[in-house]
Amino acid sequence: MDTSNRKDRGSTGPWHGTDTTPIALLETIRRRGRVWEELAAQYGVRNPDPPWKITLDATCDMLAAESCVVPYDQVEPGSCALPSLERRAEEDDLSETIYADVPFPERQLLALAHSMIKRGLFKEEELAQRMKQVHERLTSA
């Protein structure tokens, strides 16, 4: 395969492929989290997507910046936090391995968090702490 126009030149440095080693926090969510198709069925909601899907997509777009619309080999180094093509390739790999049993879009979300932790954009512990805070806030009313 000709890889000259693909993932050998990432805007955040060379891309070394997907690290599919599980992350404990995300494994817990994978096992314990209730997915939208279950919740929607239980509560009689017909919307096919969870309400957070659109903000998730926006987060992916924001992280990708111009790499959404510029060929991979023309993405300026450092111009985005997570190039679109790398994120999607990692989502593919993770969706067919450690998150294979998770439906969409929950696996898109797990894959994004996975990619961000593996790239050091934030730490697993930071995410766990923030999730605790968010949960307390959302359930405090």
Site of interaction with other proteins (CB under 8 A): 1, 3, 6-8, 17-18, 29, 32-36, 39-40, 42-45, 47, 50-52, 54-59, 61-63, 65-72, 81, 84-85, 88-89, 92-93, 96-97, 100, 104-106, 109-110, 112-113, 116, 121-122, 126-127, 130-131, 133-135, 138-139
Minimum gap (Å) between residue 8 Cβ and other proteins: 6
Token pair, residue 95, equals: 């969706």
- Which one, 22 or 135, has the nearer CB to other proteins? 135
- Which one, 104 or 118, has the nearer CB to other proteins? 104
Contact 91, 80 (CB under 8 A): no
Minimum gap (Å) between residue 74 Cβ and other proteins: 9
Minimum gap (Å) between residue 14 Cβ and other proteins: 11
Q: How many CB atoms lie within 10 A of CB 70?
A: 17
User: Nearest 5 degrees, angle CA 19-CA 66-CA 49?
Assistant: 65
Give the span between the Cα atoms of 58 and 90, in whole angstroms.
18
Contact 12, 82 (CB under 8 A): yes
- Which one, 70 or 118, has the nearer CB to other proteins? 70
Give the span between the Cα atoms of 117 and 16, in whole angstroms.
15
User: Nearest 5 degrees, angle CA 115-CA 126-CA 135?
Assistant: 100
Amino acid at 9: R
Minimum gap (Å) between residue 127 Cβ and other proteins: 6
Minimum gap (Å) between residue 79 Cβ and other proteins: 12
